[in-house]
C-alpha cells in the first residue's frame, strides 16, 4: 500500500513538473490578458468535417504547410540632417555607398541592393528670448530606405551588424518570400486530395454506399507571413498594495522597466487534417489549403 501511495505521489509531482516545463513563461501572456485556463475554456473542435445523408456526402479537408523562405527582403531606414539640402543628400549617399561597398566583401552584390527615396523636409527649431519664442529654419532632413535581397538567413544578422557601423539602426521590416507558389500549391493539393479520397472511401465502405455522377469540389488557398504571427508577454511578479484614501499625502510610485518578450506563435495546428513540416524550427511562410468535396450517393442494395 505504501508503495502504491508513493507511486501516485511521484507521478503527480512529475506531471506538475512536466506542465511547468512545457508551458514556459508564455503563460504570463494569458495571465496579463483576458484568457485564463479553467473549466470554462472553449475547446476547439478537431474532429473531421464530414456530413452524409441519403443522397450526398460532404467532406472538408484542411492541410497546413510550414515552408522555409527561399529569399529574404530586408529594408533598412536611414536619415540624415544638414543645414543645406545638397550637403544632406551628399552625406546620406556617402553612408549608403560605404555600406554597399562593405557588403560586397560578404558576397552581397550591388545588384541585390536598391535605394528608395522617401522624403526631404525642412527642420525648424525655436529660439528663446526674454519675451518671445521665435521659430527659425534649422536645416533639412532626408530619409531613404535601403532594400537588400538575400537567399541566406544568416546574412540578415550580418547586414544588421554591418549597417550599424555606418549609424544605420532602423530595421524597417524583413519579408519572407518563396519562388514557386504553383509548386507549393501542387504539393499541398496532392496531400489534401489523398486525405479526401481516403475519407470518402472509408465512409462509402462503412455505410454501404456507392458514388454516382461527377465530383464537386472547391478550394481555398492562402498563406500567412511571419510578421503577423508574433505574440508578446511580460513575465514578472509585482508587489500588491492598497491605497489609503484617508491619507491626503500624495505619493508617486515609480515602477521599474519590465522586459517584454516576443515569440513566434504561428497558426494553431488544431483543426487540420495534416501539417507538413510540423516541427520546423526555422520561421517561414505558412500555407493553408482547404478543400470542400462532395459526391452523390446511392445505396448499394438499391442499385
Residues 97 and 130 in one domain: yes
Residues 87 and 156 in one domain: yes
Residues 155 and 267 in one domain: no
Nearest to 277 by CA among 61, 64, 48: 64
Q: What does the pLDDT read at residue 17?
A: 39
Residues 49 and 190 in one domain: yes
Residues 128 and 208 in one domain: no
Residues 101 and 158 in one domain: yes
Residues 49 and 189 in one domain: yes
In a domain, 82, yes or no: yes
In a domain, 110, yes or no: yes
Domain-terminating residue out of 156, 177, 198: 177
Q: Please report the beta strands in the chain, taking only residues with DSSP state E, as ranges in sequence order.
A: 49-52, 56-67, 71-82, 113-128, 133-150, 170-177, 209-224, 230-233, 261-264, 274-276, 285-299
Average pLDDT over residues 160-177: 95
Residues 58 and 201 in one domain: yes
CATH of the domain at 138: 3.30.70.2970
Average pLDDT over residues 63-69: 96
CA distance between the termini of the chain: 64
In a domain, 15, yes or no: no
Domain count within the chain? 2
Highest mean pLDDT among 51-60, 161-170, 232-241, 243-252: 161-170
In a domain, 190, yes or no: yes
How many Å apart are CA 215 and CA 15, to the nearest integer? 48
In a domain, 9, yes or no: no
Average pLDDT value over all residues in the chain:
83
Domain-terminating residue out of 177, 202, 237: 177
Nearest to 62 by CA among 80, 50, 77, 78: 50
Sign of CA dihedral 6, 9, 12, 16: negative
- Asked if residue 292 lies in contact with residue 286, where contact means CB atoms within 8 angstroms, the answer is no
In a domain, 13, yes or no: no
Residues 36 and 128 in one domain: no
Q: What is the pTM of this model?
A: 0.77
Domain that holds residue 226: 25-68+180-302
Residues 62 and 194 in one domain: yes
In a domain, 161, yes or no: yes
Residues 211 and 296 in one domain: yes
Q: What does the pLDDT read at residue 10?
A: 43
Q: What are the tens digits of pLDDT across the range 263-296? A: 898 999 988 999 999 999 999 999 999 999 899 9
| pLDDT greater than 90 at residue 20 | no
Q: What are the tens digits of pLDDT across the range 44-62? A: 455 458 888 888 999 999 9
- Asked if residue 283 lies in contact with residue 264, where contact means CB atoms within 8 angstroms, the answer is yes
Residues 285 and 147 in one domain: no
284: Cα separation from own chain's centroid? 9
In a domain, 14, yes or no: no
Q: What does the pLDDT read at residue 199?
A: 92
Per-residue pLDDT band for 233 (boundaries 50, 70, 90) equals confident
Per-residue pLDDT band for 236 (boundaries 50, 70, 90) equals confident
Domain-terminating residue out of 147, 177, 207: 177
Amino acid at each position: 500500500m505504501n508503495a502504491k501511495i508513493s507511486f501516485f505521489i511521484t507521478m503527480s509531482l512529475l506531471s506538475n513538473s512536466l506542465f511547468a516545463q512545457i508551458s514556459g513563461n508564455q503563460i504570463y501572456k494569458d495571465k496579463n490578458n483576458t484568457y485564463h485556463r479553467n473549466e470554462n475554456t472553449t475547446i476547439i473542435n478537431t474532429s473531421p468535417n464530414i456530413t452524409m445523408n441519403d443522397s450526398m456526402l460532404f467532406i472538408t479537408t484542411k492541410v497546413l504547410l510550414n515552408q522555409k523562405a527561399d529569399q529574404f527582403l530586408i529594408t533598412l531606414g536611414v536619415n540624415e540632417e544638414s543645414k543645406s539640402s545638397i550637403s544632406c543628400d551628399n552625406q546620406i549617399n556617402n553612408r549608403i555607398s560605404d555600406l554597399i561597398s562593405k557588403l560586397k566583401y560578404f558576397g552581397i552584390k550591388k545588384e541585390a541592393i536598391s535605394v528608395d527615396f522617401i522624403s526631404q523636409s525642412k527642420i525648424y527649431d525655436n529660439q528663446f528670448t526674454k519675451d518671445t519664442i521665435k521659430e527659425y529654419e534649422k536645416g533639412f532632413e532626408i530619409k531613404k530606405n535601403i532594400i537588400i535581397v538575400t537567399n541566406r538567413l544568416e546574412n540578415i544578422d550580418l547586414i544588421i551588424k554591418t549597417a550599424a557601423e555606418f549609424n544605420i539602426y532602423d530595421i524597417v521590416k524583413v519579408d519572407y518570400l518563396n519562388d514557386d507558389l504553383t509548386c507549393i500549391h501542387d504539393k499541398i493539393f496532392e496531400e489534401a486530395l489523398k486525405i479526401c479520397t481516403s475519407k470518402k472511401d472509408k465512409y462509402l465502405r462503412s455505410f454501404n454506399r456507392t458514388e454516382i455522377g461527377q465530383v464537386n469540389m472547391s478550394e481555398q488557398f492562402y498563406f500567412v507571413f511571419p510578421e503577423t504571427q508574433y505574440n508578446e508577454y511580460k513575465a514578472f511578479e509585482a508587489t500588491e498594495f492598497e491605497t489609503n484614501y484617508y491619507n491626503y499625502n500624495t505619493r508617486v510610485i515609480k515602477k521599474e522597466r519590465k522586459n517584454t518578450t516576443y515569440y513566434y506563435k504561428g497558426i494553431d495546428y488544431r483543426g487540420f487534417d495534416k501539417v507538413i513540416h510540423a516541427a520546423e524550427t526555422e520561421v517561414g511562410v505558412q500555407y493553408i489549403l482547404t478543400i470542400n468535396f462532395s459526391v452523390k450517393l446511392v445505396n448499394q442494395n438499391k442499385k
